[in-house]
């Protein structure tokens, strides 16, 4: 039996574990592309709990579990007892007695911490206000596929210091690369909120163009994340100059790629020219959610598996 392990934030895993996961992802993806069945999680059940909307996360986890031979059950706050005040600790006790792995998309990180503390099975963070580790797992795998090792490289983050940004900062520490962050005044990174206490892997820039200079990967995200809709109007004004455009891509490394976790808003955080342009790898990035999460679920449920 494998030791109980959760994936609640990027720094929960070591660099060695990521190296293993990226190797497994490659293997699982190649097998899938050859239409070869692979069912290591036959008869296992994934429960997915969504307290916020999703397209990619639901689809990639549900399809991924099916492809690994198991099944997935979707719960949301609207039609489960979670939306009617059942304590998360009680829900964790019950749900984890009937499943093999659980994924939650919710608001505060504290909610998944409390679930994990009461769960008998591995728990995966499918996005919280603070972090989105599965997305950065896919993003880094995508970078490796296109450009090789990320160690020593520079990622430019333009926009909100949100869950994606926080997770990039954690990843930079674990995998030893640099992040240049540029946010509007008042939206700067708070290292403690990002789960960092002293780091030399990131630098803040007032000017987004400066942040993009020489970057190997330029990335951004929505100006208003889920749960922050009440701030939308003031954010639209504050973020107007933090739109990734051709000028920003032109000062980046000539081989730079553009990423966005999606959904995107053309004309807000990124121009159509950039997201639909030659440097954009957003569709590979989205697809890789499927492959990395299959490797992640396999690892959490079965532990390390030898690559044949
Ligand atoms: N990138 C991402 O997590 O997308 P969804 O919100 O559609 O799941
Ligand atoms: N930062 C965004 C990511 C969506 C996938 C949000 O939290 O809404």
| pLDDT tens-digit readout, 176-215 | 999 999 999 999 998 877 787 777 899 999 999 999 999 9
135 is annotated as an active-site residue: yes
261 is annotated as an active-site residue: yes
The alpha carbon of 84 is separated from its chain's Cα centroid by a whole number of angstroms, namely: 28
- Does the annotation place 44 within a ligand binding site? no
Domain ranges of the chain: 10-131+288-302, 135-285
pLDDT tens digits, 221-246: 999 999 999 999 999 999 999 999 99
pLDDT tens digits, 263-298: 999 999 999 999 999 999 999 999 999 999 999 999
As a whole number of angstroms, the longest Cα–Cα distance in the chain is 54
DSSP string, 149-186: --TT-EEEEES--SHHHHHHHHHHHHHT-EEEEE--TT
Residues with CB under 6 A from ligand 1: 54-57, 127, 135, 261-262
225 CA closest ligand 2 atom index? 8
Q: If you measure from the C-alpha of residue 212 to the centroid of ligand 2, how many angstroms do you get, rounded to a whole number?
A: 22
Contact 210, 154 (CB under 8 A): no
CATH topology identical between 10-131+288-302 and 135-285: yes
Q: What is the pTM of this model?
A: 0.97
Contact 45, 99 (CB under 8 A): yes
Please return the burial class of 112, using the count of CB atoms within 10 Å of its CB with bins 0-12, 13-18 and 19+. buried
Question: 24, 44, 58, 132: which one is catalytic?
Answer: 132
The answer regarding whether domain 10-131+288-302 maps to CATH 1.20.1440.230 reads no
Q: Is 281 helix (H, G, I), strand (E, B) or coil?
A: coil
**Could you tell me which CATH number the domain at 135-285 has?**
3.40.50.1370
b/e sequence 245-272, b meaning 16+ C-beta within 10 Å: eeebbebbbeebbbbbbbebeeebbbbe
CA separation for the pair 308, 299 (Å, rounded)? 15
84 is annotated as an active-site residue: no
55 CA closest ligand 1 atom index? 7
Q: Which of 129, 219, 242, 261 to mutate to test the pocket of ligand 2 (most atoms within 8 A of CB)?
A: 261
CA separation for the pair 157, 147 (Å, rounded)? 18
Q: Could you tell me if the ipTM is greater than 0.95?
A: yes
Q: If you measure from the C-alpha of residue 128 to the centroid of ligand 1, how many angstroms do you get, rounded to a whole number?
A: 12
Q: Are strands 101-105 and 45-50 parallel, antiparallel or unpaired?
A: parallel
Average pLDDT over residues 108-123: 98
Q: If you measure from the C-alpha of residue 53 to the centroid of ligand 2, how many angstroms do you get, rounded to a whole number?
A: 10
Residues with CB under 6 A from ligand 2: 127, 162-164, 221-222, 225-226, 261
Strand partners, 7: 124
Please state at what angle helix 163-175 crosses helix 133-147, rounded to 10 degrees. Answer: 60
Contact 7, 300 (CB under 8 A): yes
Contact 49, 79 (CB under 8 A): no
């Amino acid at each position: 039996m494998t030791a109980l392990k959760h994936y609640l934030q990027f720094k929960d895993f070591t660099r060695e574990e990521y190296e293993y996961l990226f190797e497994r992802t490659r293997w699982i993806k190649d097998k899938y592309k050859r239409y070869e069945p692979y069912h290591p999680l036959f008869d296992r059940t994934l429960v997915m709990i969504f307290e916020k909307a999703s397209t990619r996360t639901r689809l990639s986890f549900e399809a991924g579990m099916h492809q690994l031979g198991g099944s997935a059950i979707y719960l949301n706050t609207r039609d489960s007892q979670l939306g009617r005040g059942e304590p998360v600790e009680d829900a964790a006790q019950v749900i984890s007695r009937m499943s093999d792995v659980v994924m939650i998309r919710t608001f505060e990180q504290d909610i998944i911490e409390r679930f994990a503390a009461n769960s008998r099975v591995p728990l995966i963070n499918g996005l919280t206000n603070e972090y989105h580790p599965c997305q950065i797992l896919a993003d880094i795998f995508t970078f490796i596929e296109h450009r090789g090792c990320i160690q020593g490289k520079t990622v430019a983050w333009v926009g909100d210091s949100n869950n994606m940004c926080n997770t990039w900062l954690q990843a930079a520490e674990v995998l030893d690369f640099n992040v240049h962050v540029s946010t509007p005044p008042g939206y700067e990174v708070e290292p403690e909120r990002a789960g960092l206490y002293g780091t030399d892997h990131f630098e803040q820039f007032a000017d987004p163009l400066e942040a993009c200079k020489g970057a190997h990967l330029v990335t951004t995200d929505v100006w208003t994340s889920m749960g922050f809709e009440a701030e939308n109007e003031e954010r639209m004004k504050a973020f107007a100059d933090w739109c990734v455009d051709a000028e920003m891509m032109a000062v980046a490394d000539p081989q730079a790629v553009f990423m966005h976790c999606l959904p995107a808003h053309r004309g807000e955080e990124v121009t159509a020219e950039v997201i639909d342009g030659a440097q954009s790898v957003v569709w590979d990035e989205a697809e890789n959610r499927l492959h990395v999460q299959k490797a992640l679920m396999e690892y959490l449920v079965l532990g390390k598996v030898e690559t044949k």
